Structure formats: structure tokens, C-alpha cells
């Protein structure tokens, strides 16, 4: 269904949240109280992001998570890979490498290599998109609560 999973959405929201508080340790509870995201599920997601080294964890009473790198060093692609695996677009690619290297009709499959190109395009798009570019150009946390975008003031998002 050519759509990101909820896990990925939640992960991105959490990452953006953490990016806004760069350096601070943020707990799952804190994030889940800001958005209608099930706490336990978000916890699972953060664990995955931690395993993928996108965030660092701190255990114990005042524990939580912190971005492992700067926001412009974290790509959408990396997040997607961490939370739902490398996208494949066709089932060929999902199964092929695991089985015997082919999808069974590989030698006659007329859409294989062209679709690869598409996949590459999508993939490239996600690799080029950094967490930073997902951030709103608004510095104040309070603004997050209040602001829909009135008319995109002074900032220019990305070149």
C-alpha cells in the first residue's frame, strides 16, 4: 500500500520532538503526552530507533532518549529502514535475496529492472530528506501548540 506505517510516523514525530530539544533527555512518557500516541507502542518504536543507533538511550529514573546525531545527519531513509526495513516496492526484491536470488520469473519478468529504477528514485528521495528538513523553522516550543502556518513568514525551508 505504498504508505508509511504508523510506527514510522510515530518515530518521525518523536525524532522531530527530540530535535527540538537537542541535547535534552526526553522520555517516552513526555512525548506520548504531547501527541495521541500509545505509550507502549511509542516505546517499541524508540527501542528500534535505538537499535539502529539513531538515538541513544539512558536508563533509570530520569532516563529517556536523545538524538544520536545532529538533525541534519539523520535521514528519512534511515528511519524507514530502522522501523520497517529497506523498502522494496516489488515482492521480487522482498523475497529474492532471501531465497535463491531470483523471484522465479526473473528472467522473463518485464518489469523488474525498470521498477528497480523507480525504487531507486523513491529511495533516493528518502535518503536525501533529513530530519532537519522536517523541522519547522520555528524555534519556540510554545509555538508548536499554537501555530498552524499562518502564511509562512521569514524562513525559507530548504534550498
CA dist 98 → 90, 91, 92, 102 (Å): 14, 11, 10, 9
Question: Of residues 86-105, which lie at the interface with its own copies (CB under 8 A)?
Answer: 87-91, 94, 104-105
Query: Does the footprint of DNA cover residue 21 (CB under 7 A)?
Result: no
Residue 146's CB is within 10 A of a number of other CB atoms, namely 8
What is the contact mask toward DNA in residues 86 to 125, using x (rule: CB under 7 A)? -----x----------------------------------
Query: Does the footprint of DNA cover residue 19 (CB under 7 A)?
Result: no
Query: Does the footprint of DNA cover residue 59 (CB under 7 A)?
Result: yes
Q: How far apart are CA 113 and CA 127, in angstroms?
A: 20
Q: Which of 60, 101, 150, 154 binds DNA (CB under 7 A)?
A: 60
Kindly give, in sequence order, each residue whose CB lies less than 8 Å from that of residue 156, ignoring residues fewer than 6 positions away.
Answer: none
The CA dihedral of 23, 75, 4, 47, to the nearest 10 degrees, is -40
* Whole-number CA gyration radius for the chain: 19
| Complex with its own copies: residue 27 or 129, whichever CB lies closer | 129
Using CB under 8 A, list all residues that contact its own copies: 1-6, 9, 12-13, 16-17, 20, 34-36, 76, 80, 84, 87-91, 94, 104-105, 107-111, 113-115, 118, 121-122, 125-126, 129, 133-136, 144-145, 148-149
Amino acid at each position: 500500500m505504498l504508505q508509511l506505517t504508523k510506527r514510522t510516523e510515530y518515530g518521525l514525530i518523536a525524532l522531530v520532538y527530540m530535535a527540538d530539544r537537542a541535547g535534552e533527555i526526553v522520555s517516552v512518557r513526555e512525548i506520548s503526552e504531547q501527541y495521541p500516541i500509545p505509550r507502549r507502542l511509542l516505546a517499541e518504536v524508540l527501542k528500534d530507533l535505538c537499535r539502529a543507533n539513531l538515538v541513544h538511550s539512558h536508563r533509570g529514573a530520569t532516563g529517556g532518549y536523545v538524538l544520536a546525531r545532529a538533525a541534519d545527519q539523520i535521514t528519512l531513509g534511515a528511519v524507514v529502514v530502522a522501523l520497517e526495513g529497506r523498502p522494496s516496492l516489488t515482492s521480487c526484491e522482498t523475497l529474492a535475496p532471501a531465497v535463491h536470488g531470483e523471484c522465479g520469473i526473473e528472467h522473463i519478468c518485464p518489469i523488474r529492472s525498470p521498477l528497480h529504477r523507480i525504487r531507486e528514485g523513491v529511495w533516493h528521495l528518502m535518503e536525501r530528506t533529513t530530519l532537519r528538513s522536517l523541522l519547522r523553522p520555528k524555534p519556540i516550543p510554545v509555538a508548536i501548540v499554537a501555530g498552524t502556518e499562518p502564511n509562512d513568514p521569514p524562513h525559507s525551508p530548504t534550498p
